Structure 1
Amino acid sequence: MTRRILIIGGGFAGLWSALGAARVLDMESHASSNVEITLVSPKPELHVRPRLHEASPENMAVPFLPLLDAVDVKFIEGTVDCIHPTDHSVDITTTAGEKQSVSYDRLVLTSGSRLFRPPLPGLAEHAFAVDQIDDAVKLRKHLEGLASQPDTTARNTFVVVGGGFTGLEVATELPERLRAILGDSVRPRIVVIERSDAIGPDLGPGPRPAILEALEHLGIETRVGAGVVSVDATGVVTATGERIDAGTVIWTGGMVASSLTSQISPQLDRQGRLDVTPDLRVIGAKNVFGAGDVVRALTDDEDHYSLMSCQHALFMGRFAGHNVAADLLGLPTIEYRQPFYATCLDLGAWGAVYTEGWDRQVKLTHAEGKERKLLINTQWIYPPAADREQALAAGNPNITY
Structure 2
Amino acid sequence: MARIIILGAGFAGLWAAIGAARMRDEIGRAAEVEILVVDRNPYHNIRVRNYEVDLSEAAIPLGEVLDPIGVAHRLAEVQAIDAVKQQVTVAASDGGREVLTYDRLVLALGSELARPAIAGLAANGFDVDTYAAAVRLDAHLAALGAEAPSEARSTVVVVGAGFTGIEVATEMPGKLDRAGVTDGQRIVLIDPNPAVGITIGDNASAVINEALLALGVETRLGVRVTAIEPNAIALSSGEIIPTRTVVWCAGMRASPLAEALDVERDRYGRVIVDQFMRVTGAANVFAAGDVACSFVDGVHASVMSCQFARPMGRFAGHNVVADLFGQPMLPLHIDWYVTVLDLGAWGALYTEGWDRQVRTSGAAAKLTKQTINHVRIYPPRTGDRAEILAAAAPTLQAPPAVRS
**TM-score if structure 2 supplies the norm length?**
0.94
CA separation in 2, counterparts of 1:44 and 1:90? 19
C-alpha RMSD over aligned residues: 1.5
Q: Higher mean Cα deviation, 261-270 or 157-166? A: 261-270
Supply the distance in 2 between the matched residues of 1:257 and 1:87 (Cα, whole angstroms): 23
Query: Any idea what SS the aligned residue of 2:52 has?
Result: coil
2:364 alignment partner in structure 1? 368
Aligned length: 397
Per the TM alignment, residue 225 of structure 1 is displaced from its structure 2 partner at its CA by 1.4
CA contact (8 A) 2:62 2:73 kept: no
The answer for the alignment partner of 1:307 in structure 2 is 303
Provide Cα deviations, 1:95-150, integer angstroms capped at 9, x if missing partner.
Answer: 33332211111000001111110111111111111111221122111111223323
Return the alpha-carbon distance in structure 1 between the equivalents of residues 181 and 222 of structure 2: 33
What amino acid is aligned across from residue 388 of structure 2 in structure 1?
A
**Per the alignment, do residues 180 and 104 of structure 1 end up closer, same or farther by CA in structure 2, a change over 3 Å counting?**
closer
1:70 partner letter? P
Residue 3 of structure 1 is matched in structure 2 by 2
Question: Offset of 1:266 from its aligned partner?
Answer: 5.0
The answer on 1:60 being equivalent to 2:33 is no
* 1:212-291 alignment, distance < 5 Å: 212-291=209-288
In 1: Cα distance, 2:312 partner to 2:179 partner: 40
1:387 to 380, 384, 388: 384
Take 1:58 and 1:90, find their aligned partners in 2: how far apart are those partners?
33
CA distance in 1, matches of 2:18, 2:347: 34
Q: Does the aligned pair in 1 maintain the 2:144–2:181 contact within 8 Å?
A: no
**Equivalent position to 1:322, from 313, 318, 321:** 318
Shifted more, 35-44 versus 200-209: the winner is: 35-44
> Counterparts of 1:107-186 in structure 2 under 5 Å?
107-182=105-180, 186=183
Aligned letter for 1:41? D
1:89 corresponding residue in structure 2:
87
Instruction: Look up the match of 2:39.
Output: 41
SS in 2 for 1:57: coil
Q: Does 1:25 align with 2:21?
A: no
Q: Which amino acid aligns with 1:375?
A: T
Any unmatched runs of 5+ in structure 1?
A: none
**In 1, Cα distance between equivalents of 2:130 and 2:374:** 18
Mark the CA change 1:107 to 1:206 in structure 2 (over 3 Å): closer, same or farther: same
Distance in 2 between the 1:59 and 1:231 partners?
32
Q: Which AA in structure 2 matches 1:149? A: E
Q: Distance in 2 between matches of 1:246 and 1:101?
A: 46
Task: State the alpha-carbon separation in 1 of the partners of residues 95 and 242 from structure 2.
Answer: 43
C-alpha contact 1:265 1:274 (8 A) present in aligned 2 = no
Determine helix, strand or coil for the equivalent of 1:210.
helix
Distance 2:326 2:30 in 1: 11
Structure 1 residues 262 and 183: CA distance shift in structure 2, 3 A = closer
Contact persistence 2:104–2:284 (CA under 8 A):
yes
Q: 1:391 to 1:181 in 2, by over 3 A?
A: closer
Shift of 1:239: 2.1
**Alignment pair present for 1:334 and 2:330:** yes
Question: Following TM superposition, by how much is the alpha carbon of 1:86 offset from its aligned partner in structure 2, in angstroms?
Answer: 0.8
Residue range with higher mean Cα deviation, 284-293 or 232-241: 232-241
Is contact 1:293–1:308 with CA below 8 Å preserved after alignment? yes
The 2-side partners of 1:26 and 1:241 are apart by 62
Distance 1:76 1:121 in 2: 36
Task: Give the Å deviation of 1:265.
Answer: 2.4
The answer (yes or no) to whether the contact 1:58–1:137 under 8 Å persists in 2 is: no
Q: Which amino acid aligns with 1:96?
A: D
Residues of 2 paired with 1:341 and 1:172: CA distance? 23
- 1:377 maps to what in 2? 373
The worse-fitting range, judged by mean Cα deviation, of 172-181 and 336-345 is 172-181
Q: Residues 334 and 396 of structure 2 are in contact (CA less than 8 Å); yes or no, is this contact kept in structure 1?
A: no
Q: Aligned-pair distance for 1:59?
A: 4.1
Distance in 2 of aligned mates of 1:181 and 1:86: 51
Letter in 2 for 1:76: R
Query: Helix, strand or coil: the match of 2:296?
Result: coil
CA pair 251-183 structure 1, distance change in 2 beyond 3 A: closer
Distance 1:395 1:222 in 2: 42
- Aligned mates of 2:123, 2:112 — CA distance in 1: 18
Distance in 2, Cα, partners of 1:180 & 1:321: 40
Helix, strand or coil at the partner of 2:395: coil
- The CA distance in 1 between the partners of 2:225 and 2:305, in whole Å, is 25
TM-score, structure 1 as length reference: 0.95
Give the match's secondary structure for 2:250: coil
Q: Aligned letter for 1:78?
A: A
- Is the contact made by 1:32 and 1:329 (CA closer than 8 Å) also made in structure 2? no
* Residues 348 and 366 in structure 2, CA contact (< 8 A), matched pair in contact too: yes
Picking from 189, 198, 201, the partner of 1:204 is 201
